[in-house]
A and B are shown apart, each in its own frame.
Chain A
């Protein structure tokens, strides 16, 4: 699992590369728990290279969801692979989180 951050103005683009399982979700949790991240009001998660997400990985996003919402930070996923999106959908997270097809769409929604 590789997580890279790309900062543009008030937006963080976080790219997830690999498999988000029980061990790598700890790294993700550390990244999202960083107080620095609260300075930005848009977090765009690029899931193009995310091949697999385990329940532990989902748990990390879920646990931060409320905090971001309270701080009015928009969390947007884009470029999600079909099977990963299916996992989000089965769990019902697609109704709770913003999942869009591509970067442009993500930017548009973020700027709304």
Chain B
């Protein structure tokens, strides 16, 4: 034990350490990524703030030096440009990292996010500007210092607004993107970024070389602005709310543009941000995209209800087809059908009839009373169109409907039926003429056919469950029947017996049984009920009862057959009959008495004469003649046995068993031959030899009828028996 442990332990250690290492590595990468992200974010924030403050300082310094002519220009424009670029890049990259992936299709929350976090900056900036105006106007002084401060703050706000808007629009623009759009966007980002170089090198973008390039970029922006797929997913309410938000964002764009335009080329300022081409392009993109979204939302507002209806129809189809997995009942499916079709067709009234057996009943009603329904049904019955597809888009034109004075103008009848079943009928009414156009009818038909499919599937599922239950019951029946057939015979020194019994189905019609009549006498019965399966099994149980009931009185076999026939005549159905043989073996007399009622002939080996033969006796099956005349059809026989004699009792399942190509039967001759070859063996071995030979003949899995075989071998007298 100790050794084993020592061997095992290192393995465990290796495994656990490996797993630990792996999980640690995973954790580390996640951690590193998080660290990287947070590090990058804080770094960007710091660089943005630092660059902005430095820029402010530098600008103020420049303004101060500009005011004092003759002073040495301390600040360089290149430093300003560098700081501007650092600031812009920091803010944009921060927003790029910050932007989350789209979650769901709640686009209006993104718009709200954009408005509340960024567009407000414009209102802040204008408030600041007016505050400055007010302050300077009130104090009657010109303060370039304050002006520069306001200008700088507004620049910061503008960049923040643009960055935020830029990346929120990116998310929406790339909704349902394809590869091409994705690449196009990445190029756009790259091109836009490259325009910063112009600022760095202090080129004027308005000169002849760069202007065409900027115009081209403008066209590129226009192309990008056409990707507004998300607007279609807004419902009517959300669209109207989005319009307000988009309007507010547009106003923000306008404020910023106006503000910086006002101060462009202003002699009071030392720096002019309208010269930064990047900002102009970014503003063009944000402004155009907002405008595009605004206009598309505005013009799609009237059609949005159609889109909403279609998506709801689609959702209802899905719900219908998924109702099986969700374990819904038929009633729930009908509820869904009625609700969905009313909504899809915008019907003003309707009802749903369900067929149960031979009668129909109304399960769903909307804005219609039973009396009206009754009148419409009468009319439809008169026209003989109550269960067919029927559309009447102008009820007033039909005199029958006109007489009913209904408040509706259109009617559609949709039968819910498959090839085999009629499940019900759906009636929908509208208060306008031409209420059901082709498009609507198609949707309605899809609903009904989906319902039929769902209901049929539901029934199939229920049926298969029921079948499972039947199978269980059959299993029980098999067990019960097995308990009816004796497993062990009394073992005695003067005979040995071996049995074999298989049923073709779960339960069968073959049976055998025994009853010890006295110390030296035993009754053995074998029988076969016509037919197979459950009904045969019931009759078999009945026969067993008759055997035990009658043989308590100890009667000769022929008498038993007569009485059994009379008993069975009263309970067996007309086409059923039973074949049976009854043997009463008397050990003291060394003989047996038997009677055959239509059962297979008994195969016998006589040891004294060394002969194998069938007992050829007459005898009519039980239940064939159901009156006293049966008594003339049964014979009784007595036979003295010798030691080592063998008796083979069987049912027709043995001799009528067929070979795989169904052309040949096993037959009495082959059975007889088998006994001539095996009679010297023990009863068990004779049985096995016959069954093996039979299986060789039929092949595996080729059982069509119940098979029963009993082999009885009489033994020499034991001295002490």
A residues contacting B by CB (< 8 A) are: 22, 29, 55-56, 58-60, 62-63, 65-66, 83, 87, 90-93, 95-96
- A59 touching B620 in the complex, CB below 8 Å, given contacts A22-B531, A83-B665, A92-B633: no
Q: Known contacts A63-B574, A83-B665: does B532 contact A95 (CB below 8 Å)?
A: no
**Residue B473, interface by CB 8 Å:** no
Given A55-B530, A83-B665, answer yes or no on A91-B575 (Cβ-Cβ < 8 Å).
Answer: no
Q: Mark B585-600, 1 if CB is under 8 A from A, else 0.
A: 0000000000001111
- Secondary structure of the A side of the interface? helix
Whether B532 contacts A62 by the Cβ 8 Å rule is no
Number of B residues, CB within 8 Å of A: 24
- Let me know if A90 and B620 touch, CB within 8 A: no
* B557 interface residue (CB < 8 Å to A): no
B619 at the interface (CB under 8 A from A): yes
On whether the beta carbons of B621 and A91 are closer than 8 Å, the reply is: yes
B621 touches A92 (CB 8 A): yes
Question: How far does the Cβ of A23 sit from chain B's closest Cβ, in whole Å?
Answer: 12
Give me 16 other A-B pairs in contact (C-beta within 8 A), A62-B577, A92-B621, A96-B624 excluded: A22-B531, A29-B575, A55-B530, A55-B652, A58-B530, A59-B574, A59-B576, A60-B575, A62-B574, A62-B624, A63-B575, A91-B577, A92-B619, A92-B620, A92-B624, A93-B598
Interface assignment of B90: CB less than 8 Å from any CB of chain A: no
- Residue from A56, A90, A93 in contact with B624 in the complex, judged by beta carbons closer than 8 Å: A93
Q: Which of A56, A92, A95, A96 contacts B530 (CB 8 A)?
A: A56
Mark out the residues of chain B between 598 and 621 whose CB falls within 8 Å of any chain A CB in the assembled complex.
598-601, 618-621
For residue B579, CB closer than 8 A to chain A, the reply is yes
Is the beta-carbon distance between B620 and A95 smaller than 8 angstroms? yes
Chain A positions within 8 Å of B528 at CB level: 55
Q: Report B's interface with A, CB cutoff 8 A.
A: 528, 530-532, 574-577, 579, 597-601, 618-621, 624-626, 633, 652, 665
User: What's the minimum C-beta distance from A109 to chain B, rounded to whole angstroms?
Assistant: 21
Among candidates A55, A60, A62, A95, residue contacting B618 with C-beta atoms closer than 8 Å: A95
- A101–chain B nearest beta-carbon distance, Å: 20
Q: How far is the CA of A95 from the CA of B633 in the complex (A)?
A: 8
* Set of chain B residues within 8 Å of A60, measured between Cβ atoms: 575
Please give me the residue from chain B that is nearest to A91 by CB atom: B598
Residues of B within 8 A of A62 (CB): 574-575, 577, 624
Q: Name 22 A/B residue pairs within 8 A (Cβ), A-sorted.
A: A29-B575, A55-B531, A55-B652, A56-B530, A59-B531, A62-B575, A62-B577, A63-B574, A83-B665, A90-B579, A90-B652, A91-B577, A91-B579, A91-B621, A92-B598, A92-B619, A92-B633, A93-B624, A95-B618, A95-B620, A95-B633, A96-B633
In the complex, which residues of chain B have a beta carbon less than 8 angstroms from the beta carbon of A22? Answer: 531-532
Q: Nearest CB to that of A21 among chain B residues? A: B704
**Cβ of B618 and Cβ of A90 under 8 Å apart?**
no
Closest Cβ–Cβ distance, residue A64 to chain B (whole Å)? 9
Distance to closest chain A CB from B356 (angstroms): 30
Nearest CB on B from A27, distance (A): 14
Q: Which residues of B contact A96 (CB under 8 A)?
A: 620, 624-625, 633
Q: Considering only CB atoms, which chain A residue lies closest to B616 in the complex?
A: A89
**With a CB–CB cut-off of 8 A, which chain B residues contact A55?**
528, 530-531, 577, 652
Residues from chain A with Cβ under 8 Å of B652 in the complex: 55, 87, 90
Q: A92-B624, A95-B618 are in contact. Are A59 and B598 (CB under 8 A)?
A: no
Nearest-CB residue, chain B, relative to A60: B575
Looking at the complex, which one of A56, A66, A83, A87 makes contact with B575 (CB distance below 8 Å)?
A56
